Copies of this chain bind each other. A is one copy, B any other.
Amino acid sequence: MITGKNCIGGQFKADGSVEFRTTDPKRNVPNPTVFVEATKDEIDTAVDLAWEAFKVFRSMPGKQRAAFLNTIADEMLALDQELIDTYMLESGLPEGRAIGERGRTIFQLRSFAELVANDDWRENTFDAAQPDRLPQPKPSLRKTMIPLGPVAVFGASNFPLAYSTAGGDTASALAAGCPVIVKSHPMHAGTNELVASAIVKAANKTGMPKGVFSSINGSVQAGIDLVNHPKVKAVGFTGSIGGGRALFDLAAKREEPIPVFAEMGSINPVIMTASAISKRGSELAKTYAGSITLGTGQFCTNPGLLLTLKSDDAQSFIQELAKETVAIAPQIMLHPNIKKGYISKGDTVTGQEGVKVVATYDGDLDANEAAATIATVSGKAFLDNPKMHQEVFGPFSMVVQCEDEAELLQIIEGLEGQLTGTLIAEKDDTLNLPKIVDALQHRVGRIIYNGVPTGVEVCASMQHGGPYPASTDSRFTAVGVHSIKRWVRPISYQSFPTELLPDHLKK
């Protein structure tokens, strides 16, 4: 049962008086549960408990943390239909997506459990002593990774499970040995509370210290208090550029600055060569109409920018893309505010000089339904106007028609940092593909050949995070087991006797 309370180190509490409710975007009405924002005292208590928990949690054997993560997965599954129903009620996303995303969340938790069941992930190295070396003896040195401390996690509006309460940030931080304080996303506070209750059950069952996990409801100020707390040592965030940058700025201004891993906006450029369009334009139009409208375009890897060379084939492709996109029934967006943002940002971009809208749905729309938009513009106009480069979160894509390969390269080199870049080309392409790949790879975190950017595989070789403003720290991934590296730092033990080394270095 959802109580509307905060979870402070395992205890469900509501000392505060500021209340809020989530929205059912489908019916466009507030949901019944009344949630209570955490007070400053409750936030401080959560962090203090996390700090005390850290002293125990950081030295627990990996197998014990693995058991905790696996039990969180079990307890999430045990929430059964209540979790799925709450997810749908708060996000407007369909049941298939809810079940799929739960599966992804469970898979992530179990992947991290598997990762930390042994200590290979710590990248241990050993330099043997050389007592006879001249001019000076060399001491023995062992290097390993240790956790940073309590982590604050800000969940994503578009992934109420996989990148929220028990999502990738939380799972990787707990795996590393860092206690977690989640600031619940106000759009899905109910989903958050259910998952928080699963984490608390798992913590109790596996003997974790009580401060290992907390979850607080709150507004912007709660987030500020959390990031400014001296005992918080790192931040994970998934969301808008504005939100991520604000947290980054706060963290950089602290007396002790702390790392912020904000996975933010991206327009995910797709380069389609003339050869590819001429050979399989219709197929590409169909595939990309699907990718652009997938999940109402509410994915950070949504292909918001298609780069082509001007030609008659390109013109036909744009018409086909427009037709295929409009043919897909409009879907609900996550929240009235998200719909509002989609409309206003879309209007800003399509209102720029030279931009032509080639497709919008002209049927009736329910309150939070969004019609896909396909627009087009010349390479020159796009180059000259950075306002066209901004992300329109939703089913939106801009097709840029470049004069020639030189202009295409100039556009690629001038792009802001991106999560992904895609190249659609032919084996015997007329364009200089190696040159395009070289330019593109220095603007993105992942580069895809003849595919779509949507669909982020959870595996070791995934890099999800690119140059700013795609992320605040391109040197780390937010997806896959290597995301654990965000929460740890190296430490060396010099001339240490075996009995004083941490257990995993004793072997």
Please report A residues at the B interface, Cβ cutoff 8 Å: 55, 58-59, 125-127, 136, 138-139, 141-143, 146, 148-149, 248-249, 252-253, 256-257, 259, 417, 423, 427, 433-434, 437-438, 441-442, 444-451, 455, 457, 459-463, 467-469, 472-477, 482, 485, 488-497, 500
CB contact under 8 A between A462 and B141, given known A445-B490, A490-B477: yes
Would you list 20 pairs from A and B whose C-beta atoms are within 8 A, ordered by A residue? A127-B457, A127-B461, A127-B462, A136-B455, A143-B461, A143-B462, A146-B442, A249-B252, A256-B468, A259-B473, A427-B497, A444-B491, A449-B494, A449-B495, A449-B496, A451-B494, A451-B495, A457-B494, A463-B490, A475-B485
Q: Are A463 and B492 in contact (CB under 8 A)?
A: yes
CB distance B463 to A433 under 8 Å? no
Q: Which residues of B contact A491 (CB under 8 A)?
A: 441, 444-447, 463
List B contacts of A467 (CB < 8 A). Answer: 256, 489
Question: Bound state CA distance, A118 and B447, in angstroms?
Answer: 24
| Copies of this chain, count | 2
Are A446 and B494 in touch, CB under 8 angstroms? yes
* A447 in complex: contacting residue of B472, B489, B494, CB < 8 Å: B494
Provide the residues of chain B in CB contact with A494, threshold 8 Å.
446-449, 451, 457
Bound-state CA distance A476–B459 (Å) is 24
Other A-B pairs, 9, CB within 8 Å; known A127-B461, A141-B462, A249-B253: A125-B460, A248-B252, A259-B473, A437-B500, A441-B491, A445-B492, A449-B497, A457-B494, A463-B491
Alpha-carbon distance between A469 and B254 when the two chains are bound, in angstroms: 12
Out of B447, B450, B489, name the residue touching A492 (CB < 8 Å).
Answer: B447
Q: How far is the CB of A193 from chain B (nearest CB, A)?
A: 29
Shortest distance between the CB of A273 and any CB in chain B (Å): 13
Residues from chain B with a CB closer than 8 A to the CB of A148 are: 474
Of B138, B445, B447, B460, the contact of A457 (CB 8 Å cutoff): B138
Task: From known contacts A143-B460, A248-B252, infer whether A493 and B455 are also in contact, taking CB-CB under 8 Å.
Answer: no
Q: In the assembled complex, which residues on chain B have CB atoms less than 8 Å from the CB atom of A434?
A: 500
CB-nearest residue of chain B to A468: B256
Alpha-carbon distance between A500 and B252 when the two chains are bound, in angstroms: 39
Q: From B438, B459, B477, give the contact of A59 (CB < 8 A).
A: B438
Q: Is A492 a contact partner of B141 (Cβ separation < 8 A)? A: no
Among the listed B437, B461, B497, which residue makes an inter-chain contact with A142, where contact means beta carbons less than 8 Å apart? B461
